[in-house]
Amino acid sequence: MEKVRLSKLMSARGICSRREADVYIEQGSVYVDGQPVRELGTKIYPWQEIVLDRAAQIRQNQQVTILLNKPVGYVSGQPEPGYKSAIILVNNDSHFHQDRSSLRFVPQHLKNIAPAGRLDIDSQGLLVFTQDGRIAKQLIGECSQIEKEYLVRVSGNLTREGLALLNHGLQLDGQALKPARVSRLNQDQLRFILQEGKKRQIRRMCELVGLNVTGLKRVRIGQIRLADLPEGKWRYLGKNESF
């Protein structure tokens, strides 16, 4: 059996992200079969035990995940010319007053935080920011199977054949899309449930069947729903919540 990089194994086991693993290794916080490992690039056997020390576990538990109801007009990641990043909406004034978390906002909660998935500038709804590499991998990792649910307003004529293609049979960028669950809510609104998130996927899917998207709102990621979180407001992911 071949040895594997320690950081890769830590990520595969859901202990942390590879980037975080390298930090913990350099800090001497990673133990393999009870022995500390401090050298980056160390390889071990897949069956060996990996444990983070208590201090690193505490730091992990202090990492926050933030749920934002992103309005139209903000980009998910880095600012673009003429547009602002949605992260600027995360501040003390915009904290949802009905947040049930015991956490109180401090600037440290924005350190090393990043969006776990994208939401187009023309779209609104649930956007996740996290400091926790485990959650980021769960939501956007290559093997992620987390569902994302969208309410989509469209114009144009959707045929029965077109609806069938939206559910399964379309390609983007030369690759077949995973099966989706698409249903008609009324004459001009559809519900999409996807397990992937290619760039502008829903808009491009609709174009392929002769529809134009006039509004798009993400209302659920996994088990987490947008619910009554107002537009432009945010809250913490609770200790007892998971995707």
DSSP sequence for 193-242: EES---TTHHHHHHHHTT-EEEEEEEEEETTEE-TTPPTT-EEEPPTT--
pLDDT at 160 over 80: yes
pTM of the model: 0.84
Residue of 115, 11, 3 lying closest to 24 (CA atoms): 11
Residue whose tokens read 């769960």: 138
pLDDT at 79: 75
Print the SS3 string covering 142-191. Answer: CCCCCCEEEEEEEECCCCHHHHHHHHCCCEECCEECCCCEEEEEECCEEE
Residue whose tokens read 């469209």: 154
Residue whose tokens read 């432009």: 232
Q: How confident is the model at residue 102 (pLDDT cuts 50, 70, 90)?
A: confident
Q: By the 8 A CB rule, do 109 and 242 touch?
A: no
Q: What is the dihedral of CA 147, 113, 87, 204, to 10 degrees?
A: -30
Residue of 72, 76, 105 lying closest to 91 (CA atoms): 105
Q: By the 8 A CB rule, do 237 and 190 touch?
A: no
pLDDT at 18: 86
CA angle 106, 65, 29 (to 5 degrees): 90
pLDDT at 83: 86
Q: Has 120 been annotated as catalytic?
A: yes
Q: Which secondary-structure segment (H or E) carries 45?
A: none
Which residue(s) pair with 151 in the sheet? Answer: 191, 217
pLDDT at 143 over 90: no
Mean predicted confidence (pLDDT) in 89-111: 93
Length of the chain: 243
Half-sphere exposure of 65 (CA within 13 A, CB side): 22
pLDDT in tens, 162-220: 999 999 999 999 999 999 999 999 999 999 999 988 889 999 999 999 999 999 999 99
Say which of 99, 120, 122, 188 is annotated catalytic: 120
Q: How far apart are the first and last CA of the chain?
A: 34
How many Å apart are CA 4 and CA 1, to the nearest integer? 9
